[in-house]
Structure 1
Amino acid sequence: MEKQISRYRWVVFATVLFAYFLIVSQRTAPGLITDQLMNDFSLTASTIGLLTSIQFLAYAGLQVPIGILSDRYGPNLFLVVGTLLNGLGTLIYSLAQNEFVLFLARLLVGAGDAAIWVNLVIILSQWFKVREFVGLLGFAAVSGSFGFLLATVPFSAWIALSGWRAPFLTTGILLCLCGILLYYVLVRKPKLLFRHDAAGTGIQKKKKEKTLVILRRMFTQRQAWATFFCHFGVVGTYVGFIGSWAVPFGMHVYGMTRSDASQLIMIGLFGAIIGAPLTSWISSRLDSIKRPYLVVHLFVFSSWVAFLLFSGKPPYFMLVIIFLVMGYGNGASSLTFAVVRKSFDIKEVGVVSGFANTGGFLSAVLLPIIFGKVLDHFQLASSTIGYLYGFIIPVMFSLIGLIGCFLIKEQRHEAKQPSEAIV
């Protein structure tokens, strides 16, 4: 495949990762202003939880449809449209004057975000050979971790300096410009450079299976459900918590400033940055995905349990370790897609990746809502006892992830045609 040996593939790689970096920052940046939104719009904790969750609900609900459509029609335009929707939603969020507009904005952001990861995976598989793809997928995960990192101390300092609207407005403009850049890099330029390569659509001239046949086969396979549960337990709990209640938790329970509380999230993100490449390296050295991933899930589960053992307020040094471990687990979750790549036919990787990703963001939908309900039950979002009972939720969710990891069946085979694009 000509474009898999071209230098231009690195332009594609850099552009796609920059877009992913910006988009991921907007998954959790609203968590920095939870208390401000409650004050400015007179919102309850339950409403804040729903506001966070609606973004992840759109993301989770669209994962499988996006996977199917991208497999059939190519990922490029979906990635462009997703980036533009994300930018538009962020712009509207920055200008919102009531809670209805806030909900609409987060819904648009979630719909745009839904088109990013699955299409990123497909695009990288089209432009890079399998041997390169596996390593670059880890770099993509690291890029996402840096996006989360942006939405901690740097974004918090910006909010403290200028208020919360200006940072979101600026980011929205950047995302819209990035969508235009992606269109040029992924659609226009390849038409000139690779005239005989189907314009980068990734559509293979093969008879396509019916969608219902693909879905029926996927839903009846233990391996698909194992990846769904793994992501449900290790990704959604982390993303859902830091995207809604992590900063208020640090401020109310430990008396931290907003900047200090956001540093806890930053510690977790350092763990995530380490987790993706280190766990992938360990996995390759052991020639096993399940064993290192199982250890990761055990540590993540134990970290959430620690909140219950210390009545919702562990010693600060332990809190740092907990956030580091949970972040590491989020980074190591790239192994979920390594399981998918090794376990399924290459023409099904897109839809199964979408299904696995649905698991992670389904729990990210549920956790903020239920957590907010628990806090409302105890009257105040600053109640330590409310947070204590709230932590039962991520403990249960991470247990589901651990069970999913036990269900994984090791696969040793590779795709028969490693240079073939995912279609």
Structure 2
Amino acid sequence: MITTAIMQEYHRRRWLIWLPLALAFLTPYFHRTVMGVVTDNLMRDFAIERASEMGNLASIYFYTYAVMQLPAGILTDRFGPRLIVTAALVTASLGAFFFSWSGSIAGLYAGRFFASLGVSLIYVSIVKIHAEWFRLREFGTMTGLIVVAGSAGFLLSATPLAYVVDAFGWRTAFVLIGCYSMLMAGFCWLMVRDRPVDVGLPSLAEIEGIERDAGSQQVNGRSGIGRALKTVLGNPHTWWPVLAAVAIYGVYMAFMGIWAVPYFMQVYGMPRTEAANYIMAMALGTMVGGPLLGVISDRLGLRRGPYIWNTVFFLAVWLVLTVWNGGKPPVWALYPLCFGIGLGVSGVNMAVACTKEVNPPELTGIAAGVGNSGGFVGAALMQPAFGWVLDRQWQGAMEHGVRIYSQQAFQVAFGGCALVLVLGLLCTLMIKETGCRNISRELARTVVG
């Protein structure tokens, strides 16, 4: 019998488990955007001349992250999130230390790769915890809340990081994030538990009176993994939210993750710390948009609609940035525009929910991994592509060994990003509405029928 005392303990425990994961989730977001603040330092210290080469260094994070999402899902389903997230944080910590100590470009690539390898495993582990400890109708809200936690990493990698870089150097910044990651690894190992039954509590299925499907697949062994992959990857409804995220998040991270700070410094003549303030505005936009959209989605019982309308909003804001005064809006408009960009990209938070809810519940890890991969594929492609456009428009200006790009160069790059967002919007129109519930059985019956 599930008593009131058991329910109270259940609710208390799930938040104690969620807290260290939320704090650990700062690290992926920090590594995601740190390159934008240290771009000119690295280009100067390592004689990196071309924007496209800097884009390639930054995009290593996103290639690694994207490639690892499917293995992350398999590992999390097989070994549980507690072990995976702890190992992930240790790996990320070592990568940050290696990056800070590097004396060559090859060393920078290696350090960034290992940091990326580690943090790429964290989000899917959190999704698995959400699936085991939180109700399905809470999923959108919890996705929004974890975005708020992660976006604190955006904030730290903006103005605070700019101050650290100016005062102590960029290497010190990476040592600090490496220490933080190692601390969070220990915290997660001590506090996180994979399932309620691991601490003597009834499962979520028992609490909600749901009977497990006796025929559900077990992701154990090569054959089990093969069947699981075939189920998720062979489902056509898996892919539309992923493809939309490729475009939407790719544009966002091309700008916020690497080229926004150079844009504000070179086009507006801002110092680094002032330019980094606009990164904070975008981060605040995601911190507001993530939970707000999640609550709206859960309350309305819709996934596809919020994804579409948020993308429309993002495209509108981006077009304003692109066309107003030839790609140089007045300074007073920059904070609202950057905040709006952060709000607009929040729609990609629906990608994992849309993917997870069209696939069997026992394959949550794999489905979440696939759903989460799209944005990072997009970022990996868009960051060097944005740099390539800048290089093509470069007019030969240099300052302190760093290329200076014109307002026109940035406007051309912004225009290309607008076209990519249009493609993303078209993909959102093809998404299957789930009604905030798992519809995999209904889809299976439709196929059989």
- Shared fold (TM-score greater than 0.5)? yes
Matches within 5 A, 1:19-418: 19-44=24-49, 45-186=51-192, 193-194=199-200, 207-208=218-219, 210-310=224-324, 311-377=326-392, 378=394, 379=396, 380-412=403-435, 414-415=437-438
Percentage identity across paired residues of the two chains: 30
Q: In 1, are the aligned partners of 2:141 and 2:295 still within 8 Å (CA)?
A: no
Deviation, structure 1 residue 170:
1.4
Quick one: structure 1 residues 41 and 344, their matched pair in 2 at CA, closer, same or farther if it must change by over 3 Å?
A: same
The DSSP-based 3-state class of the residue aligned with 1:391 is helix
Q: Which moved more, 1:295-304 or 1:386-395?
A: 386-395
Which residue of structure 1 aligns with residue 447 of structure 2? none
TM-superposed CA distance for 1:362, in Å, is: 0.7
Q: Gaps spanning 5+ residues in structure 2: where?
A: 204-213, 397-402, 441-449
Aligned residue pairs, count: 411
Cα distance per residue 1:327-376 (max 9 Å; x no partner): 01233422222323432221222212211221100111011111122222
Aligned partner of residue 244 in structure 1, secondary structure: helix
Tell me the alpha carbon deviations over residues 77-103 of structure 1, each in whole angstroms, 9 at most, x when there is no partner: 111111111111111111121111111
TM-score normalised by structure 2 residue count: 0.84
Note the C-alpha offset of 1:188: 11
The answer for unaligned runs of 5 or more in structure 1 is 198-203, 418-423
Give the Cα separation in 2 of the matches to 1:195 and 1:8: 10
Q: Distance in 2 between matches of 1:129 and 1:105?
A: 38
Check conservation: 2:306, 2:347, Cα contact below 8 A: no
- In 1, distance between residues paired with 2:314 and 2:30? 22
Aligned partners of 1:272 and 1:332 also within 8 Å = no
What SS does the corresponding residue of 2:329 show, helix, strand or coil? coil
User: If the length of structure 1 is used for normalisation, what is the TM-score?
Assistant: 0.89
Mapped partners of 2:315, 2:137: distance in 1: 32
Would you say the 8 A contact 2:322–2:411 is kept in 1? yes
Report the residue type matching 1:315 in the other structure. P
User: Which range moved further: 298-307 or 205-214?
Assistant: 205-214
1:282 positional shift? 2.6
Structure number with bigger Rg: 2
User: Match of 2:429, SS?
Assistant: helix
Aligned partner of 1:184: which letter? L
Alpha-carbon contact 1:23-1:175 (below 8 Å) kept? no
Q: Write the deviation string for residues 134-185 of structure 1: whole angstroms up to 9, x where unpaired.
A: 4322211111112211111112122222221212111111111211222222
